[in-house]
A and B are shown apart, each in its own frame.
Chain A
């Protein structure tokens, strides 16, 4: 098996995890760099302690210093907390939770976006080998082996090199991150939820029944809003958000709901021609392009017909 084959196999996450091997290879990596650090894994029970806590607090302070709005918000929070002495314990707990969320963001997202993600770093070794750069291979080879042994992300502080293991990744057939019932990236640091490739808050995936019309209408990101509407149920959203009834004829009823910074949701409500076992006729909704103005036209579109072409002789 060539190193390239081993690399390709290791890109299928989570794959092998041998924590002791990761520690050993990272120790070789530090030695090659001539840097002294402790090596600590951020495992499933990780906490914001030690030098990780110090570093995260420093970043947070810096963020607040650079952002007057955040400073004002923190001052306001502090004032409220002072007034409500009884809530102090709850506030401390909330702050600890927020700190952990911020820490996981620093570790996972900075690792991800700012090149401490190991699949990216490890590839350096393949290039070093090809170009016979021995001085690069000296530090890139141990990193490569750490990646093969299951390391995903590195995070540096002044006295420690933290690492996290590769996550379990759920994708749909077209390759987009997606999981209908749980996190699409299951990571020791922080689970991340995706729906058809769109990163969304956990409850949108796990507890869609918590979504409200207000959640949907307050959401600024059009893609996240689309997912929320899909999870809420397009037809329920149409009715619950008081959509406009645009047109009605023998074929059905056409509703339209304007959505800021996105195309309108236009759906035709039709009545099933065959009764349910209890004798009732069930309504159902079908989404049509936003250019459609009439119910008959909408239903014709669903069968790729013009309005003038669509008049079934028999419907069941």
Chain B
């Protein structure tokens, strides 16, 4: 496992391998067959992966989300970025943020 990539960036989303997902994380329900990691604000574009063999979880009150991948490989797609392949295991997903004098907000591409 040592030399496998651990930190991926796809546009405004950072995906990093973690040892484990916090115990208090709860599964996030998806409406259809896709898991959406992040929606674009204006474009309708999104970072998505198939629900087959993947679970999205979130710790209440935290902005980062977690992915549990049971398949050997799971592909994260986006309309404007090349596909990223995640190996089996646990991952944390962080949205990119930008600073503002009044509030820090998420970037959305």
Contact = CB atoms under 8 A, between A and B. Distances in A.
Interface of A: 226, 262-263, 266, 272-274, 286-289, 301-305, 310-316
Q: By DSSP majority rule, is chain B's interface helix, strand, loop, or mixed?
A: strand
Contacts of B7: 310-314
Contacts of B83: 316
Given A262-B101, A313-B5, A316-B82, 6 more contacts: A273-B81, A274-B81, A289-B99, A304-B94, A314-B7, A316-B11
B96 A287 contact: no
Given A287-B99, A303-B14, A314 B80 contact: no
Contact of B107 (A262, A263, A302): A302
A287 B6 contact: no
Contacts of B98: 286-288, 302
A273 B11 CA distance: 8
A274 B80 contact: yes
A316 B77 CA distance: 10
B97 A315 contact: no
Contacts of A286: 96, 98, 107
B50 interface: no
Q: By DSSP majority rule, is chain A's interface helix, strand, loop, or mixed?
A: loop
Contacts of A287: 98-100
A226 B9 contact: no
A303 B54 CA distance: 23
Given A274-B81, A302-B107, A314 B101 contact: no
A316 B99 contact: no
Contacts of B84: 314, 316
Given A226-B101, A262-B101, A316 B96 contact: no
A164 B105 CA distance: 40
A101 to B, nearest CB: 30
A273 B107 CA distance: 16
Interface string B78-96: 1011111000000000101
Contact of B14 (A263, A266, A312): A312
Interface in B1-39: 5-11, 14
Contacts of B6: 313
Contact of A274 (B64, B82, B100, B107): B82
Contacts of B81: 273-274, 316
Contacts of B9: 273, 303, 312, 314-316
23 contacts: A226-B101, A273-B9, A273-B81, A286-B107, A287-B98, A287-B99, A288-B99, A301-B99, A302-B98, A304-B94, A304-B97, A311-B7, A313-B5, A313-B6, A313-B8, A314-B7, A314-B84, A315-B8, A315-B9, A315-B10, A316-B8, A316-B10, A316-B81
Contacts of A262: 101
Contacts of B94: 303-304
A314 B5 contact: yes
Contact of A312 (B8, B64, B82, B107): B8
